[in-house]
Structure 1
Amino acid sequence: MNVWDAAALAVTIGLFAGILALSRKRVNFSVLTFVGLFLGVGVGVVFRDHVEYVQPLGRVYVNLLLTIVAPLVIVSILSSITSLGSTAQLRTIGGRSVYWLLSLNLVAIFLALGTALLVGLGSGAQLGTEGVDTRSLDSVRQPFSAVFIGFFPTNIVKDVSENNVIPIILVSLLIAVSCSLIADKHPEKVAPFKRLVEAFREIIYRAVGFVISLTPYAVLALTASFTSTVSADTSQLWPLFTLLVVAFVVCFAHTYLVNGVFLRVSANVSPVAFFRHILPAQLTAFTTQSSAGTLPLTTSLLRTRVGVPAEIAGFTAPLGTTIGMPGCAGIWPTLLAVYSVNALGIPYGLGDYAVLVLLGLVVSIGTAGVPGTATVTATTVLAAAGLPLEVVILTLPISALADMARTTNNVTSAAVAATIVARKEGRLDDEVFRAPNPDVSVAFDASSQDVSAAEPAPTAEHGDDALWGGVPVGACAVDPSPRERVGAR
């Protein structure tokens, strides 16, 4: 073991101990995550090229998150639908979720297109595409027909192992809707299944709480590893620096400005308070670069801090990891398209740009919320638009950097869509939204204590907290006061 590698590991473990000490003093979870982010930058800069033993610490966290994604999606969909009370509510929630997710992506596409054309992105770049090998993109380039067919599973076990969220959602929907239809006529036949689902939900939520509590430590390790790599390869980024800056500007403009307007106009909530509530999810997305991996934390924050009911958070947020995805499916392919058009002097008219917008919207249906997705979507869009795929290869050196902003945008937009849907359904709990932020990992554990959906009335354990669809209104926070209730009022 290299002495510098050992020193980096020792310092990291020491910093872990410091974060643990802060957490025991009840320091806010968002603050701890921010502390981890900045400490990670320091470790990466100081121990440049010597974080070999620090990197696995962050990857273990990402693997744990990805492991819990499929069980969380399954139990969220099953529990949500079986407690909705009617298939009509499923249609309205599902339709509204898709509508708002795609609407946010459409705005992102127009924002990226307008910004890229305004600044003349790619003009004078003098891209050397001749001789660039694009064969590595053949395996990721897919026509929409193939993408559409992939929505429907042939082997659900394989889909679960690969975190293919759309097939998982469809199978879960099929089972949950079938259960609801049987329950309409013969509730006693599916009562054992509902109790099993609720028990499974408690177990999964408790497991997610354990994983989420590791977030500040993982952010430190992931940031240290990434900062070390970037500091070593900075010279390779300068030729594409303008594209990178524009990508960050557009992504963060959509993340905060566009989403802020949607929150105020369509959900009637304070954007500043909302972004403060979901900050840990944004930081996790920024460092893990995985929308699906951030999903457990996103759904937790939506329920315990924003006041989105479990039924909607458990449906819209998972859907947002595969539909919409404005950062990866809207902004990035659009920027690369304009970049290549201007850099290579390709004739492009108004009709061509209209097709480009449509392609970005269509490709966003079924996008995988994992690292590297933007390369797949960019390849698909550029191929369908007749633009050179060499541009995708030439921009790979900055893609990992841009992915931090793209993923943050994806996660934020999915959370915004869930909040809007909850408001439109009349289910957003403003008391939870206005309450002080609880420790999210503790809150998630507490929320797993929900009673079975089969129980007809509140129990003594929950006191005056009412049930709606089997979900306790007040089982969310460390202090179960009326101000920290989760679910419908």
Structure 2
Amino acid sequence: MTVVSLGALVAGVVVGSALRGHEGPLLSFLTGVGTLWVSALRMIALPLAVFNTTCAMISQRSANAAGRIGGAIAIYVVLLLLGAAIVLTILPPVMHSTPVDQAAIAKLSQSKAAESHKLTTQSAPALSIGDLLVGLVPKNVLQAAVNEDFLRLLVFAVLFGLALRRASPERGGTVIRFIEGVTETLMILVRWIIWCAPAAMFCLAATFASSSGAKIVGILGRFVVYECGLMLIFIALLYPLTMVAGGISLRRFASAALGPQMVAVSTRSSIAALPSLVAAGEALLADHPEPARVVLPLSVSIFKVNRTTSGLCRLLVMLYFWGVPSDPSKIAVFLASIMLLSFSDLGLPGGTNFRTVPAYLAAGVPIEAIVLLEVFEPFSDICKTLLNVTGDLSIAAIVTRWSGRPAPVEHAMAMAAGESQLT
């Protein structure tokens, strides 16, 4: 299925490029089919995350669940720091080896003056740690569901699952069986939706290529090359990292990750990729899937592995292109702010995240630069989502390894040692 989906994705790009500039019924039909499939993914993502998390909390010890969540957060922070290290090591020498036409940059900045003013007025103030902690608990669960507030709903699911374990077997057992039945039914729906993936990916790729394929022009196209190149390097490093820290062979991890990656590329949404990601986690970690059932919904909802890679790349590029001196202390503050804010965003495609605007402004970035680089967001969004989804699966594999599952590599070595002793 993944090979067929990949072929459909490539074919969609070719067809979409041919249809560029031609509005008609064919393009409208392709857009409608792609949107329908994404809506189906979005429809099932929220209940799947809530019921899967609750079911996982019921089926394991509370202390183990808390430890796995804490372990996932620790691994996530390590990955964020690794992403920042990749950018700071590779980008500055590459960037400074190519000159920038400052006159062209100034002309582009003037053309975006009105949008810059609008973005300044819309930028939200940075949230304090206290605000983030208070916002973890939903005041109204139904309202959180309507707003697709995954983070608060997952907090509720964790607490509900822990409380359900304390209920009497007579009453709690009925609820537990209901939740397990709903979770199993949702996974059947996931398989149905994934079965339609090749056709949907063809339509989505064609729509995207027809509308956005001509935007990589001019001097700022280099930004896309820098940002996407760094994120692809990070993705490549996740494979050996998962093999070493998670005990998963490169082939198994690559095979499991390919399906969610195809969904990520076609939808540009981590949330939309959640059903495929859960199915991949179940297959990859079939001998011990309970940790993944907690970690994957949590990762998709609040972990944005791309944030330090893309954010720091964007900051350094804007400072260099606009001739603003870089201050190490400001870069450090920016990095800390981006890491903190990465816990408060949903994995939805596109759109300016106004909460990060003050962090860029505090580092000395002109507001016009932020507006200009937003033009290329559809392209960087693809690599961002690809990195997020791959990172989420890597986190789940590593947490599962260190929460008690014997790693396949270690198991094979133990078996070999036993055989050698027998001989």
Q: Output the TM-score relative to the length of structure 1.
A: 0.76
Deviation at 1:42, TM superposition (A): 2.3
Gaps of 5+ in 2: 413-423
Instruction: Pick one of 324, 328, 348 that aligns with 2:326.
Output: 348
CA distance in 2, matches of 1:34, 1:298: 16
Distance 1:376 1:286 in 2: 24
Q: Distance in 2 between matches of 1:255 and 1:104?
A: 11
Can you list the C-alpha shifts for 1:235-268, whole angstroms capped at 9, x where unaligned?
Answer: x5332111100111111111112x1232122112
Q: Give the equivalent residue in structure 1 for 2:226.
A: 246
**1:328-477, aligned counterparts within 5 Å?**
329-372=307-350, 375-376=353-354, 378-427=356-405, 430=408
With over 3 angstroms needed to count, the CA separation of the structure-2 counterparts of 1:380 and 1:154, relative to structure 1, is farther
Q: Is residue 143–residue 380 contact of structure 1 (8 Å, CA) maintained in 2? A: yes
Is the Cα–Cα contact under 8 Å of residues 41 and 273 in structure 2 kept in the other structure? Answer: yes
2:43 to 50, 67, 71: 67
**Counterparts of 2:397 and 2:80, CA distance in 1:** 16
Higher helix fraction (1 or 2)? 2
Q: What are the superposed Cα offsets for residues 180-220 of structure 1, whole Å, 9 maximum, x if unpaired?
A: 2x15xx43341111111111112212222221211111110
Match of 1:97 in 2: 72
Task: Show the counterpart of 1:113.
Answer: 88
Query: Which one of the candidate residues 197, 201, 217 is aligned to 1:215?
Result: 197
User: How many angstroms apart in 2 are the aligned matches of 1:54 and 1:115?
Assistant: 39
Kindly tell me: are residues 187 and 207 of structure 1, through their superposed partners in 2, closer, same or farther at Cα, counting changes over 3 Å?
A: same
Check whether the contact 2:84–2:312 (CA below 8 A) recurs between aligned residues: yes
Aligned ranges 1:308-323 → 2 under 5 Å = 309-323=288-302
Q: Quick check: 284-293 or 103-112, which moved more?
A: 103-112
Secondary structure of 2:139's aligned partner: coil
Secondary structure at 1:322 match in 2: helix
Q: Does 1:198 align with 2:198?
A: no
Q: Tell me the residue number matched to 1:154.
A: 139
Superposed structure 1 runs of 4+ greater than 4 Å apart: 146-149, 428-431
Which residue in 2 is equivalent to 1:225?
207
Q: Can you give the 5+ residue segments of structure 1 that lack an aligned partner in the other structure?
A: 1-28, 435-489
Q: CA-to-partner distance for each residue in 1:280-325, whole Å, 9 max, x for gaps?
A: 1111101100001100000101112343744222211111123331
Match of 2:164 in 1: 179
Q: Measure, in 2, the Cα distance between the counterparts of 1:384 and 1:209.
A: 46
**Does 1:297 pair with 2:297?**
no
User: What residue identity is the alignment partner of 1:336?
Assistant: R
- 236-245 or 91-100, larger mean C-alpha shift: 236-245
Contact 1:109 1:326 in 2 (8 A): no
| Post-superposition offset of 1:47 | 2.4
Q: Would the aligned equivalents of 1:93 and 1:312 in 2 still touch at CA under 8 Å? A: yes
User: Could you tell me which amino acid in structure 2 is paired with residue 237 of structure 1?
Assistant: V
Amino acid of the residue matched to residue 341 of structure 1?
A: L
CA contact (8 A) 2:341 2:356 kept: no
Q: 1 or 2 for the larger relative contact order (CA 8 Å, sep ≥6)? A: 2
The alignment status of 1:53 with 2:25, answered yes or no, reads no
Aligned pairs, how many? 397
Q: Indicate yes or no: 2:8 matched with 1:36.
A: yes
Instruction: Indicate whether 1:260 and 2:239 are aligned.
Output: yes
User: Contact 2:352–2:374 at 8 Å: present in 1 too?
Assistant: no
Q: Distance in 2 between matches of 1:108 and 1:290?
A: 20
Q: 1:287 aligns with which of 266, 283, 288?
A: 266
Deviation at 1:346, TM superposition (A): 2.1
User: 1:138, CA displacement in angstroms?
Assistant: 4.3
RMSD: 2.4
Instruction: Flag the 1:251–1:268 CA change in 2: closer, same or farther, 3 A.
Output: same
Q: Which amino acid aligns with 1:254?
A: F
